[in-house]
Structure 1
């Protein structure tokens, strides 16, 4: 029986969660279906700001959906995104220096202020570190009615000394300029509160986390994709019955690539024919060790294919996905693997523990624990029936909890609700009543 047939058989016999069990996180807020229509024909201007053009991808589908609801949408970034990425929104170029440069940062801040004064947006949502800071300050100085800071992750978690102090300070300033902070995962919300970035009641997790959800079509395991994965294995010199451990993402120290390579060599002592498939590019900003680079280049059982745009076939070709990161905002790659029906191994780190339910959709380890990671990889390889169970549960949860349309609707309703609260507050209306339209519940029911 092929891997696809095993997965389909398990799905067919799995008792799927009932409608009452299809619920969401205790830490999240989700609009009721009857409330979503309230966002229609809002006739407001909303400005999104991200540092680089690549960050505009965080807004996928959100830009077009808001326009459908009557919003006039602007996107500010350094670099010009494609028209497809912009989804009809108006782009504004704001030159932003990636590293600290006081003179250039002041110029960027002034330019942001000038643009905000010109278009007079009703809502500003700024995210990613540099744009999040500069545009949040500009929106505060211009007294924009609704100011939101979206936190996609916290770099200071893996920094020390003055760099950590500086990053903590900038995060606190970004949050202080906003009326609300969106955290892309429940664990990120907890860290924002724990490290005193902002008050807990100021932070919201929309839907079940993630900034845009995960599309199913590019990753779901189909007959055609299964055939493509078999051809891919053959082209890489991997036998169909060889266990393949996959990593997809940037090859950086923060992603745990150093300990992954070290743990894989412990796996090989037990399972000599195992293969590690690395998909992604190395980065100079957070480089892996020279020893790890040398090992990747010289070990025939480690295959590095670099950056790949179409990832569906790579998910199909692996037996499990491993992401031993020390920090994330929300680990979308783990949800993508789950859509493909693949079990995952991740760390109990910020943004990671939200993507995997330990023992139900995957396995969790302590960050930096090489031996525990090796043990979990060996266990999955030796227990293929558990791989199927974890993969099926992950597949169900991914489709249920991270549908892009649900995430986008939650964002749209959040903007509408917050704007209404801010306007009504000036009229003496109690804004807390809006929260009655949000629902909370557990996300672990319905699995085996």
Structure 2
């Protein structure tokens, strides 16, 4: 089949889930013989990471919801590049990219990575959502369900490259081989629910006196969480690790990986990554997360914001190594079936061909 010229556009805020998906997709499409040009903001580390992968990158002025020149800039660049398709990621890129597609006559795919406002994607020819929960969310806002495709985020095959053994990861983090460890890898913000995880750890302190809680991530809640740990008397049990590039190593050191979000998630991709490491997972019973965790099979789902229920689920798994192992193995098997990078890229290629054929 004829290679395509694909313009990828993202207006990133940080180097996180959507940015990693976009970057790995660009690299794989280029490896498959397609021409790829990535347009992004100059900050957040994304341009440097993209260039390391051998990708062509430009950083035009495309950010901001009031940037009325952005669609004209994008349309011009798309024409110059000879784009067959424009694939946009996140709200500002999708708003301006959808309009640029209409200006240039080039079909567009608006990629909804989270529970976003549909208005910003309404000008796209087709939309892709990272989960069925996100599709339901945008359809409820008026999106045509026939024009919205669910494409689960894929984990790159090299995601496990260089990940140490559990024993090595614990040694790196100064955790004893027999200590019970729970880990949460997420932006430190109220909606991610780390405050309820700390409450749960406090409830478990007497039963599991050596319990360690690892929080990897940065954000506005860092000082507040540190203070909360002191007030709950669990400061010695909680370690705020800050931003880490080796989050797979952090999860490798854990017995259980938790995502206690109180808001709906696009998918909860970190729980799928944990499953690849054969870690049982606990997540909030909310759209998106409930697709990353199969309750009772690969992990457990708990009511959002319920620290007592979270503590009970943690206690159940911490006390049962056999159950943890069974859930970890089931999680890895499911992740390899449903969340591979190859499957994701195959689906996007098919959507691109469909758009070009239209």
Structure 2 residue aligned with 1:150? 111
Equivalent residue in structure 1 for 2:228, among 282, 295, 301: 295
Verify: 1:228 aligned to 2:174, yes or no: no
Verify: 1:41 aligned to 2:2, yes or no: yes
Is 2:39–2:58's contact at 8 Å kept on the other side of the alignment? yes
Q: State the aligned residue count.
A: 348
Q: List aligned pairs for 1:125-144, cutoff 5 A.
A: 125-144=87-106
Structure 2 residue aligned with 1:110? 72
What are the ranges of 5 or more consecutive residues in structure 1 without an aligned counterpart?
Answer: 1-39, 156-167, 423-448
Moved more, 295-304 or 363-372: 295-304
Moved more, 383-392 or 135-144: 135-144
Is 2:10–2:88's contact at 8 Å kept on the other side of the alignment? yes
- Once superposed, what is the RMSD of the aligned Cα atoms? 2.5
CA offsets 1:164-201 (integer angstroms, 9 cap, x no match)? xxxx3xx22x33211211001121112111233x0211
Equivalent residue in structure 1 for 2:324, among 382, 387, 411: 387
Quote the Cα distance in structure 1 between the aligned partners of 2:30 and 2:309: 48
Higher-Rg member (1/2): 1
Quote the Cα distance in structure 2 between the aligned partners of 1:342 and 1:359: 14
Quote the Cα distance in structure 1 between the aligned partners of 2:23 and 2:77: 23
Equivalent residue in structure 2 for 1:82, among 48, 59, 74: 48
Moved more, 410-419 or 390-399: 410-419
The CA deviation at 1:239 is 2.9
CA offsets 1:223-280 (integer angstroms, 9 cap, x no match)? x5234124235x2xx3322211111121111111121112221122433332211111
- Partner of 2:127: helix, strand, or coil? strand
Verify: 1:66 aligned to 2:29, yes or no: yes
Structure 2 residue aligned with 1:51? 11
- Higher relative contact order structure (alpha carbons within 8 Å, sequence separation ≥ 6): 1
Quote the Cα distance in structure 1 between the aligned partners of 2:27 and 2:183: 34
Verify: 1:95 aligned to 2:65, yes or no: no
Is 1:243–1:381's contact at 8 Å kept on the other side of the alignment? yes
The CA deviation at 1:68 is 4.6
Quote the Cα distance in structure 1 between the aligned partners of 2:162 and 2:303: 29
What are the ranges of 5 or more consecutive residues in structure 2 without an aligned counterpart?
Answer: none
Q: List aligned pairs for 1:14-413, cutoff 5 A.
A: 40-42=1-3, 44-52=4-12, 54=15, 56-79=19-42, 81-82=47-48, 84=50, 87-97=53-63, 100=65, 102=66, 105-144=67-106, 146-155=107-116, 168=117, 171-172=118-119, 174-196=120-142, 198-206=143-151, 209-210=152-153, 212-215=154-157, 218=160, 225-233=165-173, 235=174, 238-281=175-218, 283-284=219-220, 287=221, 290=224, 292-296=225-229, 299-325=235-261, 326-413=263-350
Quote the Cα distance in structure 1 between the aligned partners of 2:77 and 2:346: 28
Question: Structure 1 123/368 Cα, relative in aligned 2: closer, same or farther at 3 Å?
Answer: same
**What is the TM-score with the length of structure 1 in the denominator?**
0.71
- Partner of 1:389: helix, strand, or coil? helix
